[in-house]
A and B are shown apart, each in its own frame.
Chain A
Amino acid sequence: MKYVMANSGADAVDILRRANGDGRVIAGGTDLVLDIAGGKYAPSVLVDISAAGDMREIVPREQCIAIGGSVTHSQAARSEVILREAPALAEACAAVGSLQIRNVATLAGNVVNAQPAADAAVALSALGATCVVAGEEGDRILPMERMYEGFGKSAVDSARELVREIRVPRRKKGEASAFIRLEMRKALALPMLNVAAAARVEDGVVVWARISMAPVGVGPVRAVAAEEGLVGFSLEEEVILRAAEKALEQANPRSNPLRGTRAYRMQVLPVLVARALRAVRTQLEKEEEETR
């Protein structure tokens, strides 16, 4: 196996092309190294993108915050612009693994590894993020909903392409996001359930809401019935509780011997959804007070 450091996203795509399907992208490697050790993959070339010059930054643009494909969970959790405009994402990134893991593990990797309980992915889904996938034919842009093809199966073929950028919409006044995680420990723990919620409120009522939940299906699952039920209503307690119950309609958790049975998760999920929505409401109230 050969280990190659790519100096840019385009360089990485080129190296992969020349490896003709036998290569694989490695970013932080915190999942991939273990997968290779476990025999899941046996690439002949590992293309390391962690030092790729054009993918290491978080750049606020006019329409979106552009998060480079090599940006780590640590970077995102501490980024001023993300803390201010996408708090759900900052919280989600801060919840993963341990500091040692967050210092190398990338957000793009969290999405591409396609595990159902991925934290950054849940937050990105609720924030309406899109992923720019760079391949031989150029870029394709996929919303979070289209990044998964099955359990543990990404829409991105890491032997040929990579996520070079994740775009999170800029936060406008009247919008807020929050992330809630049910976990057995405060670190080095996968989530039992994680929920991210984002909403826009105008004249006191919800204009749109996005509620993403995991692990209750393939990738982050949007609670579309609950979301639709919120539009036109103000975020009062009864409205929140009703939406929280509706969230169950899209949830299909499995039973896990360590992290909770299906029955338990179905019971707790509405509680978490309600907490996420309340956190969103609190942020909006705070924003209103500050701008008075």
Chain B
Amino acid sequence: MNQELTLTVNGEEHTLAVESGEMLLDVLRGRLHLTGTKKGCGEGECGACTIILNGKAVNSCMIPALKAQGGRVETVEGLADGEKLHPLQQAFVEEGAIQCGFCTPGILMSAKALLDETPAPDSEQIREAISGNVCRCTGYVKVEQAIQKAVKMLGEENS
């Protein structure tokens, strides 16, 4: 059954008809063509599909699209400001925190959700924030370093 869904994605409002059983991930990728967010496992065990919904990092593969009714969604496509990379993206590139890149959009959003709430997280907080994002390539060390670098970069931007 089709129902109408209105939500804001990366600052832009969308109204569209969705199936009641459709997941938010499928709406983002399939209907809004925002394919940055990845489908890894489809069952909330890998975090590749992580987006920010109403300020919280969630697994979009398990969020029924209609649950996000009237909500505010942020995806990886919303990080950069035109051509200018977000400090998180810049830091990931500079620190070598990206190998195959499949987990990257999800980890970036988990990191962003953390920094939005806790601008100066410690190591434990960073690890907690990304422990729902599985990365098969990097071993996480560079990822953590990149997030710490982004913290510094954002701190300098805001001072």
Q: Which residues of A are at the interface with B, using a C-beta cutoff of 8 A?
A: 1-3, 5, 26, 29-30, 33-34, 36-37, 46, 48, 50, 74, 97-101, 103-104, 186-188
Q: What is the total of A-B residue contacts with beta carbons within 8 Å?
A: 78
The minimal Cβ–Cβ distance linking B92 to chain A, given in whole angstroms, is 19
Binding site for A on B (CB under 8 A): 1, 3, 20-21, 23, 43-45, 47, 50, 56-59, 62-64, 66-67, 69, 110, 128-129, 131-134
Q: A30-B62, A103-B58, A104-B58 are in contact. Are A2 and B131 (CB under 8 A)?
A: no
Bound-state CA distance A99–B133 (Å) is 9
Given pairs A5-B66, A98-B131, A187-B128, 6 additional interface contacts (CB within 8 A): A2-B3, A98-B133, A99-B110, A101-B132, A104-B63, A188-B131
Most chain B CB neighbours (cut-off 10 Å) among A26, A33, A48, A50:
A33
In the complex, residue of chain B having the shortest beta-carbon distance to the beta carbon of A102: B132
Identify which of A3, A33, A36, A188 contacts B134 (C-beta below 8 A).
Answer: A188
Most buried by A among B43, B56, B67, B128: B67
Which interface residue of B69, B129, B131, B134 has the most chain A CB atoms within 10 A?
B131
- Candidates B21, B69, B131; contact of A99 at CB < 8 Å: B131
In the complex, chain A residues whose CB is within 8 Å of the CB of B128: 99, 187
The CA-CA distance from A125 to B50 in the complex, in Å, is: 32
Give complex CA distance A33, B50 in Å. Answer: 16
Set of chain B residues within 8 Å of A99, measured between Cβ atoms: 57, 110, 128-129, 131-132
**Complex: A29 Cα to B64 Cα, angstroms:** 8
Q: State the CA gap A101–B62 with chains docked (Å).
A: 9
Whether B67 pairs with A100 at a CB distance below 8 angstroms is no
In this complex, which of A1, A26, A74 has the most chain B Cβ atoms within 10 angstroms of its Cβ? A1
Q: Identify which of B20, B56, B132 contacts A98 (C-beta below 8 A).
A: B132
List chain B residues, Cβ under 8 A from A74.
56
On whether the beta carbons of A46 and B132 are closer than 8 Å, the reply is no
Asked whether, in the complex, the Cβ of A3 is within 8 Å of the Cβ of B64, the reply is yes
Give bound CA distance, A103 to B113, whole Å: 11
The answer on a CB contact under 8 Å between A100 and B20 is: no
Query: Bound complex: CA of A46 vs CA of B19, how far in Å?
Result: 13
Q: Judging by beta carbons under 8 Å apart, are A3 and B3 in contact?
A: yes
Q: How far is the CA of A97 from the CA of B59 in the complex (A)?
A: 11
Q: A50-B67, A100-B59 are in contact. Are A34 and B129 (CB under 8 A)?
A: no
CB neighbours (8 Å) of B66 from chain A are 3, 5, 48
Q: How far is the CB of B61 from chain A (nearest CB, A)?
A: 9
Of all chain B residues, the one with the shortest Cβ separation from A50 is B67
Complex Cα–Cα for A48 and B69 (A): 11
User: Quick one: closest B residue to A187, CB to CB?
Assistant: B131
Most buried by B among A3, A46, A99, A100: A100
Taking CB atoms, residues of chain B closer than 8 Å to A33 are 23, 62-64
> How many angstroms from the CA of A94 to the CA of B45 in the assembled complex?
16
User: How far is the CB of B37 from the nearest CB of chain A, in Å?
Assistant: 12
